[in-house]
Amino acid sequence: MALWLERVLRNRVDVEDPAEAAGRIAMSPEALKVLAEDENGQSLLKAAELKRRAASITELRGLSEDPAATEHDLQRALQTQPWIFGGQFIRTAAHRRLVSGDEVDIPLLRADGTLHLVELKRAMGARALVKRHRNAWVPTSEVHDAVGQAINYLVGLDENRQRIREEFGIETRRASALVLIGHPALHPDLAEEDLNQVLRTLNTHTNRVEVLTYAELLDSAERSLGGIPTTA
């Protein structure tokens, strides 16, 4: 623990003596009290949060690579981690059913109160994401159906914008959606970057819906930690 804290303090925060500060905190039998009272306590609280996030990414990677993992498993692991989707999201909305008949998987809120939907599909349990068509790779119906579902959610939000704002205080005029689906390991014959490029090309033609694999989302979240290790 002391070595890990030292590395975090040295690379991520401004502490005069990272080794000494890390050792002092790690060896304290009253760690929480020390964190609150030590002059470097705020830095160490930040280090603890970074470690928690790194551990979350490790857990989610394992889950996304498990063929038996269901959409519910993935939702349960992701819904308390809004930071994974990007720094613009401040929290998860309390209500998932904003429109009658539609229940979104993860409703995220930006700082201005605008809604962003996350629609979850299976990762390793999904069917193929791309196929060969003539001389190119194109998304399969698995992807298009998921995008169509997200678009239908957005249409419902647009049509009920006034009521949703009055009842829940959520703005849906500029709502957008993310579809999380599949994993590069589903296509061992295709380079991961090539798979990502097919989905990025699709994203350029859908104005309010983005499609990502779980691997690409977690890679991005890991980069946001700035080099903090995500393995034990």
Q: With cut-offs at 50, 70 and 90, classify the pLDDT of residue 49.
A: confident
Parallel, antiparallel, or unpaired: how do β-strands 209-212 and 171-180 relate? parallel
Q: What is the pLDDT of residues 59-95, one digit of tens each?
A: 999 999 999 999 999 999 999 899 999 989 989 999 9
Q: What is the pLDDT of residue 232?
A: 44
Give the architecture (CATH level 2) of 70-224.
3-Layer(aba) Sandwich (3.40)
Domain boundaries, the chain: 2-57, 70-224
Parallel, antiparallel, or unpaired: how do β-strands 114-120 and 171-180 relate? parallel
Q: What is the mean pLDDT of residues 127-154?
A: 96
Q: What is the pLDDT of residues 191-229, one digit of tens each?
A: 999 999 999 999 999 999 999 999 999 999 999 887 555
